[in-house]
């Protein structure tokens, strides 16, 4: 009988020991699960965001259009373009531009430093300056072209004056400021003031690569006044790219290459206040605004891996689209749908790869498109 009691006590001790071990294991699992909550809260949405940027979940849109591929010697890498609507001329920011049917501007003042251009913007005092002030050159018909120039030792904004109808231009100012550190797009708002996007925060190659591979939202927009002072107008933008504005210049549009177009209200101090965020199906590059109806055209590539390959392989094609964004006037505007989107150009060809800019001439019903690295540009028949 005593032996049975001893065995029972021994079994109870073993069971108690197992329960204690089991309970300790459960506590560790619970503690581990709690510790993982903030990690998962960051990783899961981040993984979803990065997957969205790959474009694999988007079915590309292909459209039919009639286009002419314009090519010439040394006409390549036209990353940005802008139509001067009053003259019907197209100005392109290229790796090099040849003379012939296409006029290469001879810019007095840049002979020694050279021009490694990226974004560009046009200020036409006849159209844009309501006060009709004369230019610095004393000719009210001259236009101002602002160009992002990546010099060998710094990145600046070159302010150039050009007389339409000629092939000559003159450098009137080189705008530099510590806040203009990684300029991409430029938007003139007067003959000497402008907004400029800094696509990334870092300026060194390793830092920039980290920002791009992890899709950090560290870019921003800077406003530079006519007296040379500058202020940080907006922060927290993922690869801030092309810029645009409405007719009254009280709204500023910013293309984020992380598939967004941001709409900002321009305050009296020229700082920007975020009003709307519009998700788009493209890695938004440059954007342009239709001067007639105020709609936004944003161009870009839809799939990130295709885009990367096309940047280094001249034989690679990528799915590209031009999206038109307009104010919603339909019945669903009542339910908070403020904007409409429509793909007006969708392509998968070498000529449009990798797409960077689309501008539209309502006067001639032409859609003009440029690519980042490939030769030439496209002129397409289009009625919007």
Binding residues for Ca(2+): 184, 241, 285-286
Distances (CA, A) of 144 to 155, 183, 222, 268: 19, 18, 19, 24
What is the H or E stretch that residue 2 is in?
Answer: helix 2-54
d(CA 356, CA 310): 12
Q: At what angle do helices 2-54 and 304-312 cross, to 10 degrees?
A: 50
d(CA 5, CA 306): 77
Of 130, 124, 129, 127, residue with least CA distance to 145: 124
Binding residues: 184, 241, 285-286
**Residues 376 and 72 sit within 8 Å (Cβ to Cβ):** yes
Beta strands in 204-319 (DSSP E): 219-224, 230-237, 240-245, 251-256, 260-266, 272-279, 283-289, 296-301
User: Which alpha helices (H) appear in 325-378, and where do they start and end?
Assistant: none
**C-beta atoms surrounding 18 within 10 Å:** 10
53: tokens are 């940027």
118: tokens are 């990226």
Distances (CA, A) of 69 to 133, 265, 295, 375: 38, 38, 25, 9
Of 119, 91, 123, 131, residue with least CA distance to 191: 123
**Residues 142 and 168 sit within 8 Å (Cβ to Cβ):** no
């Amino acid at each position: 009988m005593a032996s049975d009691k001893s065995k029972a006590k021994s079994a109870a001790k073993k069971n108690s020991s197992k329960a204690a071990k089991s309970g300790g294991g459960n506590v560790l699992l619970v503690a581990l699960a709690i510790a993982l909550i903030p990690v998962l809260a960051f990783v899961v949405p981040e993984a979803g965001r990065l997957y969205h940027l790959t474009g694999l979940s988007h079915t590309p849109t292909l459209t039919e259009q009639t286009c002419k591929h314009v090519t010439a010697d040394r006409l390549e890498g036209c990353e940005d373009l802008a139509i001067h609507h009053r003259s019907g001329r197209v100005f392109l920011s290229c790796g090099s531009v040849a003379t012939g049917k296409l006029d290469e501007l001879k810019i007095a003042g840049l002979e020694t430093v050279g021009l490694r251009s990226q974004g560009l913007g046009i200020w036409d005092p006849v159209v844009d300056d309501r006060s009709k002030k004369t230019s610095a050159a004393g000719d009210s018909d001259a236009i101002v072209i602002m160009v992002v120039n990546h010099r060998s030792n710094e990145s600046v904004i070159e302010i150039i004056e050009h007389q339409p109808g000629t092939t000559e231009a003159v450098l009137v100012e080189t705008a530099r400021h510590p806040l203009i550190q990684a300029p991409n797009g430029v938007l003139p708002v007067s003959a000497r003031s402008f907004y400029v996007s800094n696509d990334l925060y870092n300026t060194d190659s390793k830092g920039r690569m980290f920002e791009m591979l992890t899709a950090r939202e560290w870019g921003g927009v800077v406003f530079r006044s006519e007296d040379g002072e500058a202020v940080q107008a907006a922060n927290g933008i993922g690869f801030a790219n092309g810029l645009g504005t409405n007719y009254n210049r009280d709204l500023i549009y910013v293309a984020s290459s992380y598939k967004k177009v941001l709409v900002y209200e321009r305050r009296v101090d020229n700082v920007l206040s975020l009003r709307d965020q519009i998700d788009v199906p493209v890695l938004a590059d440059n954007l342009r605004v239709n001067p007639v109806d105020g709609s936004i055209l944003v161009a870009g590539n839809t799939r990130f891996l295709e885009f990367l390959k096309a940047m280094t392989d001249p034989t690679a094609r990528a799915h590209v689209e031009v999206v038109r964004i307009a104010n919603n006037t339909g019945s669903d505007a009542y339910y908070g749908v403020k904007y409409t989107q429509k793909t007006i150009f969708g392509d998968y060809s070498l000529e449009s790869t990798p797409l960077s800019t689309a501008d539209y001439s309502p006067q001639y019903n032409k859609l003009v498109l440029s690519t980042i690295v490939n030769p030439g540009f496209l002129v397409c028949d289009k009625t919007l």
